[in-house]
Structure 1
Amino acid sequence: MSTSTITLEMKKITIEFPGVKALDNVDFTTETGTTHALIGANGAGKSTLMKVLSGAYNHYTGDIFMNGETVNIRSPKDAQEHGVQIVYQEVDTALVPYLSVGENIMLNETVNDMGKSQFIKWRNIHQRAADILKSMNVNISTKKLVSELTLAEKQMILIARAISKQCRFLILDEPTAPLSHTETEELFRIVRDLKEKNVGVIFISHRLPELFSICDDITIMRNGKFINKEKIKDTTQNRVVEQMLGKKLEEQFPKYQIDIGETILEVKGLHDSDKVKNMNLHVRAGEIIGVAGLVGAGKTEFCKAIFGSSKITSGDILIKGKSQKVKNPHDAVKKGLALVPEERRKEGILVSESVATNLTVAQLSSFCKYNSFLDFRAEKKKSKEMISSLGIKTPSAETKVQNLSGGNQQKVAIGKWLITDADVYIFDEPTKGVDVGAKKDIFELIAALAKRGKAVIYASSEFPEIMGITDRIYVVYDGEVVKELPTHTTNEEEILFYSTGGK
C-alpha cells in the first residue's frame, strides 16, 4: 500500500430521486492514514454520499478529486480501480449465501479469473481467504457456507472481502451494529492496522462513543447538506448531536406513569431446536419488559420462537392465561402477537413495495370489500394517517420503502403492526442503525403502546435503552434467562455482569 498521503475531495455533490433532493451541494474531504466519522440523522444523506463515492449512484452532479486530479466514478468498478471499497450495513444483500466463506471473500477475483481461464485454483482461493481472515484474527473456516454464519460473522466476511484488494479508502456503513463488544474491539484493531498501512477509513455510525474513540475527524450532515467538519478532539458528543438535529438535545426517554394490569403473555420452560433453552418470563398489560443480553445471547431466537418463526421443542406459551400453540407467524398474528424483527430489510418490510402497502399489509383483510376487492381509497387514507402520526419522512405514500432512510424504514416496520391492534408487541433491537432523533420517536411510540394497555417486550443489547424504557428486565445469557431485575433497582454494570455469565 502507498505510503504517500492521498487527499480525497468531493465538491458540490448533488443528487435527486423522485420527489426528494437527497444531496444538495455537499462537500466532503478526507485523506489516507486517517479515520473519518461521517454522521447525521437518518435521511441526512451520509449513506447516499458514500454510495456516490463507491459508484452505486451515477446520476449525480459535482466532482470527485484525488490529490487535486479529477476522477470519474460512475460505477463500482470505477471506484475499485481508484482504491475505494465499501462495506454496506445490510450484509445479506452483499453476500451469496450458497457459496463458501472463501468464495465470498475472493468473489471479485474469482469472477476475474474465470474471464481469463477455464480453470479456478480453488486451493489458492481458500488459502488467500484464510490468510486474510488470519490477519484479521477471525477464526472461521473458509469452507463453511455463508448461509450458516451469524450476522456478526457475515459482517467480518464483508470486511475481509473489502481489504482483499489494494484499498486506499474503506467505507464502513454502520459496521458495529451486528457485532458484540469483543467483535467490535477486533474491528477497531483492524481499522487501526489499516490506518497504519495508510488506508483512509470512513466510518458511518450512530454510536457516538465509538466514533469518538476510533476517529480523527468528523463531518456532520443534515437534510442532505454539509453542516460542519472538525477534529474529534476539538468537539463534544452533545455538540455533534445538536449539529445533527439542528436543535438542543431533549430528554430521550419519555416519562410516563401507567397502571400495570393482568398478565397478557407468559412463557414457561421454552426450548427451541437451536439456541433457546428453558426460557421463563411474563409480561403484563401496560408493562414494558426488557430482554437484555449481548449479541448472540439468544434474544432474537427467543423472539422468533414466541412468534412462531422457529420450532419450539418444549415449553408453554400462555396468552391471557390460556395455553396456546403458535404454529407460525400468521397464527401468531391471529393470537394477538406482533414482532418488529432485528433485520428489518430482510424480515420486517417489503423493500420494493410502497410505504402504503407496507403499512397496511398486516391487516389487508380490513381494507377488502366483499372479501376480495381491495379498497385502495381506504388503504391510502389509513396509510396517510399513519405516516402523519408516526412522523414518517417520505415524499408520498406511494414512495418505495427502499428509498427511505433507516429510521423511517423502522417506523414503517412498527407502523404496520399498530393497525393490527395486537395485544403483545415484541421489539427486537428496534433502534439498530437509527439516529438519536428517530430513536426518541420510537421510544415515544413504544410508551404510547404501553399507555394503551399493550404488553411490550423490548429485546436489546443496548443497555442504556433497556434502562431508560423498561419496567422490569430479564437478562439472557447463552439462550437462558439468568436473572430478573426491577429496572429502578439495577444499573448497567449489574446487567453486564449477568449478561457475561456472572453468578
Structure 2
Amino acid sequence: MLDSKASELVMKRISIAFPGVQALSDVDFRTAAGRAHALIGANGAGKSTLMKVLAGAHDHYTGSISIDGKEVRIRTPKDAKDNGIQVVYQEVDTALIPNLSVGENIMLEQTVHNMKGKHLIQWKELHRSAQAILDRMNIKVPTKKLVQELTLAEKQMVLIARSVSRECRFLVLDEPTAPLSHSETDQLFRLIRLLKVEGVGIIFISHRLPELYEICEDITIMRDGKLVVSEELANIDQHKVVELMLGARMEGQFPHAKKEIGKKRFEVKDIRDGDKVNGVNLHVCKGEIIGLAGLVGAGKTELCRALFGAAPIVSGQLFIDNRELRIRSPYQAVKNGIALVPEERRREGIFVEESVSVNLTAAILSRFTKWGPWLSKSKEKQAAVEIIQSLGVKTPSANAKVSNLSGGNQQKVAIGKWLLVDADVYIFDEPTKGVDVGAKRDIYELVAELAGRGKCIIYASSEMSEMIGITDRIYVMFDGQVVKELETQHTSEEEILLHSTGGLLT
C-alpha cells in the first residue's frame, strides 16, 4: 500500500468526453511521491487522456484533483507546472527547440519568464544553472551543444532535466523507453531511481511489461476509459496484467498460419546511403517475411528509408522479378510497388491533423478522382470505412481527426493506407513501437495475412521476440551492415542478440 506519510496525488471521479466518444468515466487514480507507478492499458484505454487532464491539456473534465489532501485547480499546463506536475511525452523532438543549446532548452521556462520582466539574459549563469542540474542527475551532455546534435536518449534526458529545473513533485513519463537501446534504458532507469530517492513521484506509461517490474512499485490498469484495478505490482503477475488490459485471456501472441513461400521476387544488391548503410545485400521471396534485426542505431531505419527512396544519396541496385528499379524518391517507390510504414508514425507516417478517411486514401487518390482533379468523397469514405472495419480501428467515425486517436489506432491508420495501394513489397519499420499487446497481435496478423497473399515483407524490429515470432528468415545488422543471415526456425533470441552486438564477427 502507499505510504500514508508520503506526499500524495489523488484524482477522483475524472470524466471527460469528446465528440462521439466518452474518453474517461469516473476514473480514480492515486500515487505517492518517491514511488514509480505504472499506468497501463490497451491503446484507447484512456491512460494518455487521464494524464493530459493532469497536465492541464484538457480543461473540460469533471472530477477533482488534490495533492496532500488539498484540492488543486488544474485547467492549464501552467496550473499543472505550478503544482509541481511535469510531463515528458513520447515525441521528444516536438518538445525541444533543435537550434538552441542544451542549456537554453533546460532553462527555457525561466528564460522566457525573465524576458517578460525585460531582464537581460545572463548566459554564464544560464549555463551554470543548467550544468548544476545535469551534474546532480549525472547526465553527461555539454550544455553548449545544440539539441539537434543529440541522440534521442540524450534529448529525453534533457527534457527530464528541464522538468526538474523547476520544483517537480510528480513526473509523468509517456513511453520513455520506446526509442531507446538497452544501455540507454538502463541509464534512464538509473535516473528514475535517483529521482525517487529525491522524493519525486514517477508515473510511468509503457507497453513493455518486463520494464514495469524492474522500475515500478505500483500499477493502475485501465480499459475502455475506466479503472480496472490499482494494486501493488508485486501482487500481480504479467499474464494477469495482460488479461486485465484486454478483458480476455490472450492465448497466443503470434499467428501460426501455414503458408507457402515462392520464388525470389525482391532483391537488394550493395545498397549504400553514404552514411549509415554500408553495402547491404538481401532478398525476399513471394509470401516470405524477412526480419531486419539489430539494436538501436544498427542502420535498420536507414536501410528501410533507402529502399523507399527517402534517403538523399543511395547507390546500389533493386530488383523486382529480375526487373531493375530506378528509385530516387518515395513517389517512384510507390509507383514501383514498394510501401513503407515508417518508425516515426506521427512525423512521417500520418497527417496528424487530417481525418482518418483522408489518411487512409492519401496514397492512392487517383482511384477516387473523376473528370480530372475532382475527388469523389463518397467513394473515398466508403473505402476508408472498409479499411477501418477490417483493421478494427477504434474511431468515432471516418471523419475523426487522427490526432484524437490512440497510438495503436494511429499505427493501424499508417498501415491501412497501404492496403489500398496493393503493393508488392511492404516494409515495416518498428511497427509495434508504443502500441499495446492487443494492437500488436492485430498488426502481426495483418503482416501474416499480407504474406499469405504472396506479398514480400521486410520487418525491421529491435524486439528479438518479434523476430522469432513472425519472420521466416532474419538478416542481423550491426554498424550499417548485414553481419549474419539466419533461418528463424533454427535460431534463438540469444543468437540474434549475440550478432546484434557484434559478437563473433570475423
TM-score > 0.5, shorter chain as reference: yes
Aligned counterparts of 1:157 and 1:284: Cα–Cα separation in 2: 44
In 2, Cα distance between equivalents of 1:441 and 1:84: 35
**SS of structure 2 residue aligned to 1:434:** coil
How has the CA–CA distance of structure 1 residues 149 and 263 changed in structure 2, closer, same or farther, with 3 Å as cutoff? farther
Aligned AA (1:35): A
- Shift of the 283–131 alpha-carbon distance from structure 1 to 2, 3 Å rule, reads farther
Q: Structure 1: how far apart are the matches of 2:82 and 2:295?
A: 39
Aligned partners of 1:84 and 1:169 also within 8 Å: yes
Q: Kindly provide the CA deviation profile for residues 417-460 of structure 1, in whole angstroms up to 9, marking residues without a partner as x.
A: 01000000000000011000000000010001000100001000
**Structure 2 CA distance for aligned equivalents of residues 138 and 500 of structure 1:** 24
1:164 and 2:165 matched: yes
Q: From the superposition, tell whether residues 318 and 130 of structure 1 become closer, same or farther in structure 2 (CA, over 3 Å).
A: farther
Deviation string, structure 1 residues 287-326 (Cα, Å, up to 9, x no partner): 0000011111111111111111113343222222122221
Of 427-436 and 143-152, the range deviating more from structure 2: 143-152
Q: What is the one-letter code of the residue matched to 1:202?
A: I
The residue number in structure 2 matching 1:230 is 231
Letter in 2 for 1:365: S
Q: Contact (CA 8 Å) 1:91, 1:158: kept in 2 or not?
A: yes
Q: Secondary structure at the match of 1:278?
A: strand
Partner of 1:256: 257
Per-residue CA shift, 1:113-167, capped at 9, x if unaligned?
A: 2122341112222233233334444333333332333333322222221122211
Q: Distance in 1 between matches of 2:394 and 2:348?
A: 21
Where in structure 2 are there 5+ consecutive unaligned residues?
none
> 2:337 maps to which residue?
336
Q: Which moved more, 1:306-315 or 1:375-384?
A: 306-315
Report if the CA contact (8 A) 1:84-1:170 is conserved: yes
1:397 alignment partner AA = A
Asked if 1:268 corresponds to 2:250, the answer is no
Give the distance between the partners of 2:159 and 2:266, measured in 1 at CA: 39
CA offsets 1:91-110 (integer angstroms, 9 cap, x no match): 22212222222222221111
Seen in structure 2, the aligned counterparts of structure 1 residues 136 and 491 have a Cα distance that, compared at 3 Å, is: farther
**Cα distance, 1:282 vs structure 2:** 1.0
Instruction: Report the Cα distance in structure 1 between the residues aligned to 2:371 and 2:487, rounded to whole angstroms.
Output: 49
Q: How far apart in 2 are the matches of 1:114 and 1:120?
A: 8
C-alpha contact 1:424 1:455 (8 A) present in aligned 2:
yes
> 3-state DSSP class of the match of 2:311?
coil
| Amino acid corresponding to residue 96 of structure 1 in structure 2 | I
Inter-partner Cα distance in structure 2 for 1:431 and 1:324: 29
Q: State which drifts further: 166-175 or 112-121.
A: 112-121
> Secondary structure of 2:483's partner?
strand
Which residue is 2:47 aligned to? Answer: 46
CA deviation vs aligned residue, 1:44-92 (integer Å, no higher than 9, x gap): 0001101111111111000001111110011111111111000001122
> 3-state SS of the aligned residue for 2:11?
strand
Q: Distance in 2 between matches of 1:196 and 1:460?
A: 34
Equivalent residue letter for 2:172: I
Q: Is the 8 A contact 2:444 2:470 kept in 1?
A: yes
Q: Over residues 455-492 of structure 1, what are the superposed CA-to-partner deviations in whole Å (9 max), with x where a residue is unaligned?
A: 00100001101110000001111111111100001111
Report SS of the residue matched to 1:352.
Answer: coil
The whole-number CA distance in structure 2 between the counterparts of 1:138 and 1:453 is: 49
Q: Is the 8 A contact 1:218 1:229 kept in 2?
A: yes
- Deviation of 1:352 (Å): 0.3
Partner of 1:286: 287
Aligned to 1:471: 472
Amino acid at match of 1:296: G
Task: For residue 347 of structure 1, give the secondary structure of its aligned residue in structure 2.
Answer: helix
In structure 2, the residue matched to 1:132 is 133
Aligned residue pairs: how many?
Answer: 501
Query: Where do 1:4-403 residues align within 5 Å?
Result: 5-403=6-404
Q: Is the Cα contact below 8 Å between 1:264 and 1:424 reproduced in 2?
A: no
1:217 alignment partner AA: D
Q: Deviations over 1:6-65 (max 9, x none)?
A: 111000000111111110000000110111000100000001101111111111000001
User: Residue 215 of structure 2 aligns to which amino acid in structure 1?
Assistant: I
Shift, 1:257, TM fit: 1.7
Does the residue aligned with 2:434 lie in a helix, a strand or coil? coil
Deviates more, 1:373-382 or 1:315-324: 315-324
Q: Is the 8 A contact 1:170 1:201 kept in 2?
A: yes
Taking structure 1 as reference, are residues 438 and 313 closer, same or farther at Cα in structure 2, changes over 3 Å only? closer
1:321 maps to amino acid: N
Secondary structure of the structure 2 residue equivalent to 1:291: strand
Stretch of structure 1 that moved more, 404-413 or 121-130: 121-130
Distance 2:56 2:467 in 1: 39
Aligned to 1:423: 424
The superposition leaves residues 382-440 of structure 1 with CA deviations (integer Å, 9 ceiling, x where unpaired) of 00111000100000000000000000000000000010000000000000110000000
The CA distance in 2 between the partners of 1:256 and 1:12, in whole Å, is 44
**Percent of matched pairs sharing the same residue:** 63
Please state whether the residue corresponding to 1:312 is helix, strand or coil. coil
Q: Is the 8 A contact 2:381 2:398 kept in 1?
A: yes
Partner Cα separation in structure 2 for residue 271 and residue 244 of structure 1: 43
What code does the residue aligned with 2:418 have?
W
AA partner of residue 29 (structure 2): F
Contact residue 137 and residue 194 of structure 2 kept, 8 A: no
1-side partners of 2:447 and 2:391: how far apart? 11
Find the aligned partners of 1:278 and 1:130 in 2 and give their Cα distance.
41
Comparing 48-57 and 317-326, the one that deviates more: 317-326
Task: Give the match's secondary structure for 1:193.
Answer: helix
Query: 1:118/1:46 Cα in 2 relative to 1: closer, same or farther (>3 Å)?
Result: same
Which consecutive unaligned segments of at least 5 residues does structure 1 have? none
What amino acid is the match of 1:336?
G
Shift of 1:499: 0.6
Q: Which moved more, 1:439-448 or 1:312-321?
A: 312-321
Q: Secondary structure at the match of 1:311?
A: coil
Question: Which amino acid in 2 is paired with 1:21?
Answer: Q
CA contact (8 A) 2:46 2:224 kept: yes
Ranges of 4+ aligned residues in structure 1 off by more than 4 Å: none
**Quick one: distance in 1 between partners of 2:431 and 2:176?**
17
Q: Which amino acid aligns with 2:65?
A: I
Alpha-carbon contact 1:155-1:178 (below 8 Å) kept: no
CA contact 2:306–2:314 (8 Å) conserved in 1: no
